[in-house]
Amino acid sequence: MLRDTPSTVYLKDYQPPEFLIDQVSLQFDLGEEGTRVRSRLELRRNPAAESRSADLRLHGEQLELLSLALDGEPLAPAAYAQDDEGLTIRQVPDRFVLESEVRILPQHNTALEGLYKSGGMFCTQCEAEGFRKITWFLDRPDVMSRFTTTITADKQRYPVLLSNGNPAEAVDLADGRHRITWADPFPKPAYLFALVAGDLRFIEDSHTTPSGRQVALRIYVEPENINKCAHAMASLKHAMRWDEQQYGREYDLDIYMIVAVNDFNMGAMENKGLNIFNSKYVLASPATATDRDFQGIESVIAHEYFHNWTGNRITCRDWFQLSLKEGLTVFRDQEFSADMGSRGVKRIEDVRLLRAHQFAEDAGPMAHPVRPDSYMEINNFYTVTVYEKGAEVVRMQSNLLGPEAYRRGTDLYFERFDGQAVTTDDFVQCMADAGKRDLTQFKRWYSQAGTPELNIRGEYDAVRQTYSLTVEQHCPATPGQPDKAPFLIPLAVGLLDSKGADLALQLEDESTPIRGTRMLELSERRQQFVFEQVPETPVPSLLRGFSAPVKVHFDYSDAQLMFLMAHDSDGFSRWDAAQTLSQRILLQLVADPNSAVPTGFIDAFRQALTDGSTDPALLAEVLTLPSESYLGDQMAEVDVAGIHQAREWLKTLLATELRNELLAVYRANEVPGEYQPDAASIGRRSLRNLALGYLMQLDDETIQQLCVEQYRAGHNMTDVISALSLLADRDTPEAAELLEAFYQQWQGDPLVLDKWFSLQALSKRPDTLQRVQALLKHPAFSIANPNKVRALIGAFCSGNAVRFHAADGSGYRFLGDRVLELDGLNPQVASRMVRLMARWQRYDPARQQQMKAQLERILKTEGVSRDVFEIASKSLE
Ligand code: TRP
Ligand code: ZN
């Protein structure tokens, strides 16, 4: 907790460690009162150090020191000094062994960082700086050590004792306790350490790598969940095969373990050989999990598995390099999911997420580069910028190099840096070397924050048969970065002829035309590209596949957007044209509720619904209107109520005009037979539920009944939750009855109850805040469980704009109260919640005042965490 203003850490101050730790052995004695941790560190001076202090400084927080010895000699009190953040040992030799014993209190650890208890089990979370809450250490990623871990615990309560690496030895002790030792042969930073102890069951499978290594695969869960692991296991095996085929990477230990825990701050953690997961990303059965859950599990399992090479074998030199592992690993998991399911739809989903959250972050007070240059609390920088924009930055390098050179680049990266802690510059250098090109300018994507904007103009010259595109780039200022240098931007373009086919593209001075998409490279503030032998005025298709994380401005007519929406050969661009058009219409409606909707718009939707040739999954994306919060981002001042009204009104208009077509689509896309989470079935269900969503805008008894029937049929959780969410928007006795029935049916399943909390928090009912307040007191709710907090409080504040931004400020007071309540328990989760007010300047003066008042109140509170302090103070700057 805070005494003074937290200090800022700067990238420019990086220095190599003065000491290295070659070998670590840890002995945990797990108890109900407390846990004793004995550690033996083999330390030596780092030959590459740039400075030489006489003293050794180790990290350590909330540790009760029991004993300390150097080279076997107990240390006198004068030889060391302990403070809140660590331990200084005076006058150490160049090479020595440090032994210590501490007592820690996992049972009281509500921050879920370090060693803590989740239900009846012990588990750890050490990234980024949690290991220092376990024992004294050089808790920084460029100190890589070999770990041996011995765990002693009561055998009945904790029959399963796990740590990283391979199991070495197991003994039963006389007092009902037992002891197991694990040895990890790979040097690793402390943030990848893990320990688990509990009464767990596992499912087992195996995988043989191309080099012939047999790997045991185990997923550990609490006994009641043993039947919900099959999908996670199948996903793991797919991910292992994919990484072998696509990147030539194979697994390197004899065993790969995944453990599911209910109390977890994020999605999952890639600890070497022992991944720890939020149970949300492991457990699934057709009755309890939605299509989205199945997809989430597949991608997070893959993400953590891929970290074994991109993160663990090669790790980050310092936390400013976080995107080295996260951006690259997200890019890898995105491509994996694209290969497993529907590639085009996956791209649309990823771009929607990026635009909704990362573009917003880039435009707000917390904007930071993919490689930040300072932080107060590193946990605050596990952001959509570092993860998702970081993935786009890797994707652009693959776009610029092409697939073969990109693969040579990653091969070179693994060869050059295996076993090391490196930087994003090191990664880019491998790409530059493999692609034989200079990527110096490209590196600005890592150092400059903000979303570049492209203003593009097109001009057709009928006499010379040329079409020229003039492109100007600029990037808005962000905190600390008033001026930006131009980026190197891959811009994928196509030109459509009047029938909607791709024209052959031939740039000046080129001999052979290319039909389809071309990757233009922008490097200057203003550039012109001239296409030759263009027989007619084309419609340009710009930023196909979202080839760069930028905003494009082009003066399309409504008719041109409808044309692209119907004909573009690039699925992403068809969707994007529909989004641009819908957005334009919606923003016009916000400005003037009486403005006319272009008739062609409804016809375009009708045509899309009825042409029968579009993949249902893509069609569902095309027909989804931009979200309220995304629309708000496009306005100079967010008009919360106006946006909600306009969007609801347009949905109702479309439902009224297209009632028959929507009903036909609803009926035609029923998925018969047993539930399968394959891409085709998922696509049909999403289209069908989208149609139902539109139809439920109508005050129509038949449709209500259709929705109730879908709920009662209970074929699968996707259809059940879609129906129940729509019903929960209304204040009817039937809705109340079904919500209660759902609770009764699922009260034993915490993950299903999370959905139940969320759909009530997202309800359009005017009394939703009161209902959320009441649900805080529900016996199934717990403020100490991050999934519950996200399901109820997070869903309300981030997904229910009209209610959260209620004009009376009630939503903001609610959030302020929750942040302060949470901060004493779990600063990481509290800090994610306080972010939801960071963009207060985007609203009208009255709302600004109310949000600001909450931020100021939070900041003034004594003992506020560093996590929350950083976000609240930077938001007010
Ligand atoms: N490295 C993890 C991932 O991306 C995420 C992570 C970072 C995390 N810090 C955490 C998970 C804290 C849980 C808690 O896969
Ligand atoms: Zn990750």
Axis-axis angle for helices 230-247, 322-340 (nearest 10): 110
Give the residue whose CA is nearest to atom 9 of ligand 1.
127
The predicted structure's pLDDT at residue 1: 46
Q: Mind listing the pLDDT tens digit for each residue in 341-373?
A: 999 999 999 999 999 999 999 999 999 999 999
Backbone angles phi, psi at 72, to 5 degrees: 85, -10
Q: Which residues are paired to 315 by β-bridges?
A: 421
Q: Indicate whether this model's pTM tops 0.85.
A: yes
CA distance 822 to 809: 20
List the residue whose alpha carbon is closest to atom 1 of ligand 1: 269
Q: For residue 170, count CB atoms less than 10 angstroms from its CB and return exposed for 0-12, middle for 13-18, buried for 19 or more.
A: exposed
Residue with the smallest CA separation from ligand 1 atom 2 is: 269
Task: Domain ranges for the chain, please list them.
Answer: 1-199
Ligand number nearest to the C-alpha of 831: 1
Q: How far is CA 535 from CA 467, 514, 531, in A?
A: 9, 15, 11
Q: What are the tokens at 229? A: 């692991």
Q: Give 126 Cα–ligand 2 centroid separation in angstroms.
A: 13
Gap between the Cα atoms of 475 and 454, Å rounded = 9
Look at ligand 1, atom 6, and give the residue with the nearest C-alpha: 269
Ligand 1 cavity residues, CB under 6 Å = 125, 127-128, 265-266, 268-270, 303-304, 326, 382
Closest residue (by CA) to atom 7 of ligand 1?
Answer: 127
Q: Distance from the CA of 329 to the center of ligand 2, in angstroms?
A: 6
The token duo for 118 is: 């989740």
φ/ψ region of 21 (left if φ > 0, alpha if ψ in -120 to 50, else beta) reads beta
Give 307-312's long-range contacts (Cβ < 8 A, gap of 24+).
Answer: 307/270, 308/249, 308/251, 308/252, 308/270, 308/272, 309/243, 309/247, 309/249, 309/414, 311/270, 312/186, 312/188, 312/192, 312/270, 312/272
For residue 513, what pLDDT is reported? 87
Distances (CA, A) of 868 to 118, 131, 552, 856: 24, 21, 35, 12
- The answer to whether residues 810 and 854 touch, using CB atoms and an 8 Å cutoff, is no
Task: Retrieve residue 469's tokens.
Answer: 């595109």
Ligand nearest to the CA of 828: 1
Between the CA of 774 and the centroid of ligand 1 the distance, in Å, is: 32
Candidate of 125, 274, 281, 282 to mutate for ligand 1, largest count of ligand atoms within 8 Å of Cβ: 125
Model pLDDT, residue 4: 67
**Alpha-carbon gap, residue 791 to 726, rounded angstroms:** 17
How many CA atoms, within 13 angstroms, populate the side-chain half-sphere of residue 749?
A: 19
Q: Do 557 and 581 form a contact (C-beta atoms < 8 A)?
A: no
Q: Which of 225, 231, 250 is nearest to 240 (CA)?
A: 250
Q: What span, in angstroms and rounded, lies between the C-alpha atoms of 845 and 194?
A: 48
Q: For residue 771, with 0-12 CB atoms within 10 Å meaning exposed, 13-18 middle and 19 or more buried, which class applies?
A: middle
As given in the structure block, the two tokens for residue 268 are 């999952």
Please give the positions annotated as active site: 304
Nearest listed ligand to the Cα of residue 300: 1
Ligand 1 geometric centre to CA of 149 (Å)? 22
CB within 8 A of 149, min separation 6: which ones? Answer: 25, 26, 27, 28, 163, 164, 165, 181, 182, 183, 184, 193, 195
Q: For 681-726, how does the pLDDT look when each residue is reduced to its tens digit (9 = 90+)?
A: 999 999 999 999 999 999 999 999 999 999 999 999 999 999 999 9
Q: Which of 269, 271, 272, 377 to mutate to test the pocket of ligand 1 (most atoms within 8 A of CB)?
A: 269
DSSP class of 262: S
Report the distance separating Cα 86 and Cα 434, nearest Å.
Answer: 43
Position 511 scores a pLDDT of 83
Name which of 568, 630, 571 is nearest 347 in CA terms: 571
CATH topology of domain 1-199: Immunoglobulin-like (2.60.40)
pLDDT beneath 70, residues of the chain: 1-4
CA–centroid distance, 446 to ligand 2, in Å, is 18
